[in-house]
A and B are shown apart, each in its own frame.
Chain A
Amino acid sequence: MRLLLVEDYRPLNQSLTKGLNEAGFAVDSTRDGKEGLWYAMSNEYDVIILDIMLPGMDGLEILKKIRSRGKKSHVLILTAKDTLEDRVAGLDLGADDYLVKPFAFEELVARVRALLRRSYGEKNPCVRVRDLKIDLNTKRVWRGREEITLTPREYALLEYLAMRAGQTISRTDIWEHIYEFRSSASSNVVDVYIGYLRRKLDRSNKPDLIRTVRGLGYRLGAGS
């Protein structure tokens, strides 16, 4: 899942980027408001984590702009302002969640996960596709009773496919949601990772889970 972090306070920006990366998200981060707006407008982010007091452009201004241009990304406001008016103003402008500094990193991650589930219409943190089970919180995967160990990148790919289970997803789409902006990887790596995933998930006595839809992309689970 791909996130954008717009936070001007350097230590916070650095540690959050690192922590979110390690939590399996593809993270683009910036410390400038205008740059943040550019990122938000030119990419498809699952969640945007937005500070309010920013140099260049105010966080609420960014929020207003991306909503007015029809961007559907979920926005989590991260700020030291905690008055009722501030919170209401943020939520009224189209923010989906609000977290007051200082916060526990785990809570931030949990809220991001909740927003992700919401964006894919998935309320249950435990996703099932046929006999495949994915625990979105602990990031553990089972096929039947057997637990399968995945690398963070493999897991991120499977999670994205599972969130949109039954839909055909293009390579570019997958690539956009799994890799951060600065990544040197091209969409071809998607094929490579799909190969890795198949090797780990498929069992000879069970039907294949990931199907290749020629010319369009990939699909996990149901649908013919």
Chain B
Amino acid sequence: MKRSLRRRLLAGIIGGILLLLAVFSLLVYVVIRGALLRQFDESLASVAQVLAASVELDGNDVELEFEARQMPEFQDVERPTRYQFWDANGAVVAKSPLSSTQELRRPETTLKNLVFQTSRDESGQPQRSVGLKFAPRIADSDETQQGRQKDEELFTLVVARDASDLHSQLGLLRWLLVNASAAVVILSLIFAAVVVRQGLHPLNSIAAEIAAISEENLATRIASENVPAEVIPIKNRLNELLCRLEASFKKERRFNADIAHELRTPLAGIRSTIEVALARNRDPVEYRQALEDCLEIAGSMQAVVGNLLMLTRLEARQISLETDRIRLAGFIDSAWQPFSDKAMDRNITFDNRIEPDVTFESDRANLGTVLSNVLCNAVEYVDDSGRIWVTARSADDSIEIAVSNTGCHLTSEQVSQVFDCFWRVDSSRSDTGAHCGLGLALVQRLVGALGGRAAAVTEPGGIFSIRLILPASP
């Protein structure tokens, strides 16, 4: 959602207010208009009733009582009220003095039924009229012709009154409602803008705090006191995120420091070997010795860099696996080959106890690296004249390979650290730095990439084992 929160809140608030105002204004208008019309109509109807009552039928003559004609409504020229009578045949019997020029329309109506109409007079002014049929009174009789109502004897009366006052009142009402609504909308827009800005202020202050956090001060946390309840979870999650970020930065810095350390020592070796060799003229044997030393150091540095590269690739999941059927016993024998001379020198016994028919599927190259590292570690830390042996146990869908050696003095805490990068038993290195504490870290990650897991265990009698639990087929 890209739209700004402030705009959305404002639009919501203003839209709601607008809708409510519209409905409310409409309601008010309809009710007031109805009331005004009803009032107008009632007054018109009463005039009509009076007029109707003032008509007297004397034989064939129609007489209108004087009082009725003299009513003030009929005298007002500005806001004239007009009337017109028709007899049953539709002939105009009488009309008001002011309606000389205009004929009122005779409505279709029935006895006692009032028909209201809005129309315009000849000058275009709005007028409202009421039409009714009535039976005129018979002269010298107080009765109307109630008893003998016949259509042909019913008169029709229309009373029309100028309605411009009513219309202008309604116009004023409309103007008031529209303008009041507009004013309310504008005021609430201003008010809402302030409220929304105040409401969103904690977000801005948190944003400012986050903006102030850089790589160097990841230890700071978002403090923002008095943040609203809704923002607290965001603040807490952000702080947790910062925690994780800080930890991973710390880990990376440590890792980089470790790398630097691992590379600095051999570099110091190369440098001082060369500098000392160059300090004076020497015979070729000494130069050769210095060069061989440097070459050896370079080789071990290359191994460190290679391991680091592999670790990085593993972390980025950039290794490709090719599954192959592996005959384990033979595979172990060939992995042991590079170490056999060194083991012989130290009188170490190697025992491959894997049955010749054990096979499983895995990636040959990577499994080779794993075994080579595990065996290298065993040869490095086995006691002189000690033993190294390899066993395997097959389960339904997995195989467990264990490489064990004697002469282990690790505490259980140290065992839990053997897979950490750059960890070594006494934080010290061997002859040329070939074992810089990356081997088992690499083993653990590689076995993970092969779909299995690695574990380190110690057993009584100074026995140390690395167990590789691998899927029988990936």
A interacts with B: yes
In the complex, chain A residues whose CB is within 8 Å of the CB of B432: 9-11
Give Cα A186 to B264, complex, Å. 40
- Whether B269 and A12, one on each chain, are in contact in the complex, defined by CB atoms closer than 8 angstroms, is yes
- Whether A12 and B279, one on each chain, are in contact in the complex, defined by CB atoms closer than 8 angstroms, is no
- Whether B264 and A101, one on each chain, are in contact in the complex, defined by CB atoms closer than 8 angstroms, is yes
Shortest beta-carbon distance, A153 to chain B, in Å?
Answer: 16
- Whether A11 and B273, one on each chain, are in contact in the complex, defined by CB atoms closer than 8 angstroms, is yes
Interface membership of B140, Cβ < 8 A: no
In the complex, chain B residues whose CB is within 8 Å of the CB of A58: 427
Give Cα A83 to B260, complex, Å. 11
Shortest beta-carbon distance, A133 to chain B, in Å?
Answer: 24
Give Cα A108 to B272, complex, Å. 10
Give Cα A58 to B426, complex, Å. 9
- Whether B267 and A101, one on each chain, are in contact in the complex, defined by CB atoms closer than 8 angstroms, is yes
Interface membership of A176, Cβ < 8 A: no
- Whether B428 and A12, one on each chain, are in contact in the complex, defined by CB atoms closer than 8 angstroms, is no
Give Cα A9 to B257, complex, Å. 19
Closest chain B residue to A21 by CB distance?
Answer: B276
In the complex, chain B residues whose CB is within 8 Å of the CB of A103: 268, 271-272
Shortest beta-carbon distance, A35 to chain B, in Å?
Answer: 13
Closest chain B residue to A99 by CB distance?
Answer: B268
In the complex, chain A residues whose CB is within 8 Å of the CB of B136: none
Interface membership of B288, Cβ < 8 A: no
- Whether A14 and B293, one on each chain, are in contact in the complex, defined by CB atoms closer than 8 angstroms, is yes
In the complex, chain B residues whose CB is within 8 Å of the CB of A124: none
- Whether A104 and B269, one on each chain, are in contact in the complex, defined by CB atoms closer than 8 angstroms, is no
For B271, B276, B297, which residue has the most chain A Cβ atoms within 10 angstroms?
A: B276
Interface residues of A in 78-102 (CB under 8 A from B): 80-83, 100-102
- Whether A18 and B276, one on each chain, are in contact in the complex, defined by CB atoms closer than 8 angstroms, is yes
Give Cα A16 to B262, complex, Å. 19
Interface residues of A in 12-37 (CB under 8 A from B): 12, 14-16, 18-19, 22-23
Of the candidate stretches A48-56, A155-163, A166-174, A188-196, the one touching chain B is A48-56
Interface membership of A105, Cβ < 8 A: yes
In the complex, chain A residues whose CB is within 8 Å of the CB of B270: 11, 102
Closest chain A residue to B290 by CB distance?
Answer: A15
Interface membership of A106, Cβ < 8 A: yes
- Whether A15 and B265, one on each chain, are in contact in the complex, defined by CB atoms closer than 8 angstroms, is no
Given A55-B426, A80-B264, do A19 and B297 touch, yes or no (CB 8 Å)?
no
Shortest beta-carbon distance, A21 to chain B, in Å?
Answer: 10
- Whether A104 and B275, one on each chain, are in contact in the complex, defined by CB atoms closer than 8 angstroms, is yes
Given A9-B429, A56-B426, A80-B264, do A16 and B293 touch, yes or no (CB 8 Å)?
no
- Whether B271 and A80, one on each chain, are in contact in the complex, defined by CB atoms closer than 8 angstroms, is no
Contact with B along A179-192 (1 / 0, CB 8 A): 00000000000000
Interface membership of B41, Cβ < 8 A: no
In the complex, chain A residues whose CB is within 8 Å of the CB of B262: 80
For B260, B265, B279, which residue has the most chain A Cβ atoms within 10 angstroms?
A: B265
Give Cα A115 to B169, complex, Å. 109
Given A9-B429, A11-B297, A55-B428, do A22 and B279 touch, yes or no (CB 8 Å)?
yes
In the complex, chain A residues whose CB is within 8 Å of the CB of B293: 11, 14-15
In the complex, chain B residues whose CB is within 8 Å of the CB of A81: 261
Interface membership of B148, Cβ < 8 A: no
Closest chain A residue to B275 by CB distance?
Answer: A105
Interface membership of A46, Cβ < 8 A: no
Give Cα A55 to B435, complex, Å. 14
Give Cα A22 to B272, complex, Å. 13
Interface membership of B61, Cβ < 8 A: no
Please tell me which one of the listed residues B261, B266, B272, B296 contacts residue A19 in the complex, with CB atoms under 8 A apart: B272
Interface residues of A in 186-215 (CB under 8 A from B): none
Give Cα A10 to B294, complex, Å. 12
Please tell me which one of the listed residues A82, A83, A101, A105 contacts residue B276 in the complex, with CB atoms under 8 A apart: A105
Interface membership of B230, Cβ < 8 A: no
In the complex, chain A residues whose CB is within 8 Å of the CB of B297: 11
Shortest beta-carbon distance, A107 to chain B, in Å?
Answer: 10
Interface membership of B353, Cβ < 8 A: no
Contact with B along A53-69 (1 / 0, CB 8 A): 11110100000000000
Closest chain A residue to B273 by CB distance?
Answer: A15
Chain A to chain B: the 9 pairs with minimum beta-carbon distance, closest first: A19-B276, A101-B268, A11-B269, A102-B268, A80-B264, A105-B275, A55-B428, A15-B273, A102-B267
A-B contact pairs, 29 of them (CB 8 A): A8-B428, A8-B429, A9-B265, A10-B432, A11-B293, A11-B294, A12-B272, A14-B273, A15-B273, A15-B276, A16-B272, A19-B272, A19-B276, A22-B279, A53-B427, A53-B428, A54-B428, A55-B428, A80-B260, A80-B261, A80-B264, A101-B264, A102-B267, A102-B272, A103-B272, A104-B271, A105-B272, A105-B276, A105-B279
- Chain B positions within 8 Å of A, measured between CB atoms, are 257, 260-262, 264-273, 275-277, 279-280, 290, 293-294, 296-297, 426-429, 431-433
Sample of 9 further A-B pairs with CB below 8 A, known A12-B265, A55-B426, A105-B279: A10-B431, A11-B266, A11-B296, A12-B269, A18-B276, A55-B428, A80-B265, A102-B264, A102-B267
